[in-house]
Amino acid sequence: MPPKRKHQNNQELPTKKIKVNQGKLLATEETKAEGKGEFDHSPVRIASWNVNGIRAVENKGNFFEFCSREDLDVLCFNETKLQEKNIPEYQKKLPQFPFQYWSCSIAKKGYSGVAILSKVEPVSVKVGIDQKEHDQEGRVLTAEFDSFYVVSTYIPNAGQKLERLKYRVDSWDVDFRNYLKSLDKPFIWLGDLNVVHQEIDIWEIKGKEKLAGCTPEERRSFSETLEEGFVDTFRELHPQEKKFSWYSQRNPVARQKNQGWRLDYIVVSQPLMQRVQDSLIHDSVMGSDHHPVELLLSN
């Protein structure tokens, strides 16, 4: 057995065998864990990163440096692009998280995919949102902790020609909104939400209303979701800050000229907002075309 690691509060972390949800599970299946889902320190730090292919990003930028931070309690990945057979490899590469749950697309190989990695064992972990229409692409994982859920997501893109716009707005957004409303305790919903909510969330690009993520339909739909009693933590705490989480790889000077979009969010249900200490965009962490986002939550 490997030596026990220590958290920043000098307490020993568990070294139990990593539990993995290998993505082939259907949305109706639920993993009952043995843990109580309790964090014994404050703040609890929960991060999310769209890695745009974890195999591509692991040797770039600050990937392992960021993932290995001792004070990071829960780390979510979006767009891992992994197949089920790849998961054991990444269990071994990220051993600082004893409890790992991965969901892969079963509709298309090497596409989409999300994960939740935690130093504390959740009470339960659920794949999908109980909607077969949506749950074949590996886009949602929900981990239940003692006083909240963590919902890791990679929300569908409307497509370059907006071919999935109707599906995104009229089907996915409606069903996912209802899923969040059905949760029986407060939640932290985080990931690449593929939407620019306000003008401050994007650089001044012409014709943006016809671009996926910035159409009036998508922005209006996201507003309707927030109106259910949910809070965009970064914008709530930093109302005037123009900071971006994604830069187009097609624009070679995008980062240099700060021509970005804010597509990665951490949204909480209103009762949790009183515990939120800060919401961060780590725009100095490189590797993907997205930057990680992080929530600091008092315990």
Higher pLDDT, 208 or 3: 208
Domain assignment of residue 190, yes or no:
yes
Domain assignment of residue 4, yes or no:
no
Q: Give me the residues paired with residue 230 across strands.
A: 269
Question: Is position 232 annotated as part of the catalytic site?
Answer: no
Both tokens of residue 125? 């972990």
Among 12-21, 33-42, 72-81, which is the least confidently predicted range?
12-21
What per-residue confidence (pLDDT) applies to 30?
52
| Residue of 73, 135, 192, 264 marked active site | 192
Label residue 153 by pLDDT band (50, 70, 90).
very high
Higher pLDDT, 109 or 218: 218
**What is the CATH number for 137?**
3.60.10.10
Domain assignment of residue 205, yes or no:
yes
Question: Is position 247 annotated as part of the catalytic site?
Answer: no
Domain assignment of residue 13, yes or no:
no
Domain assignment of residue 222, yes or no:
yes
Mean pLDDT, the chain, integer: 89
Structural domains in the chain (count): 1
Give pLDDT tens digits for 221-240: 999 999 999 999 999 999 99
Stretch 250-257: mean pLDDT: 90
Give the separation between CA 14 and CA 27, rounded to whole angstroms: 28
What per-residue confidence (pLDDT) applies to 11?
38
| Residue of 90, 154, 247, 265 marked active site | 154
Q: Where are the extended beta strands (E) located within the chain?
A: 30-32, 44-50, 74-78, 99-103, 114-118, 124-127, 140-144, 149-154, 187-192, 230-232, 264-269, 276-281, 293-297
Is 50 exceeded by the pLDDT of residue 7? Answer: no
- For residue 273, give the nearest of 212, 145, 186, 178 by alpha carbon: 186
Both tokens of residue 227? 């109106």
Stretch 54-66: mean pLDDT: 94
Give pLDDT tens digits for 157-204: 999 999 999 999 999 999 999 999 999 999 999 999 999 999 999 998
- pTM > 0.75: yes
Give pLDDT tens digits for 96-110: 999 999 999 988 888
Stretch 71-81: mean pLDDT: 97
Q: Which domain holds residue 50?
A: 30-297
Domain assignment of residue 158, yes or no:
yes
Domain assignment of residue 176, yes or no:
yes
Angle at 122 between CA 116 and CA 127, to 5 degrees: 50
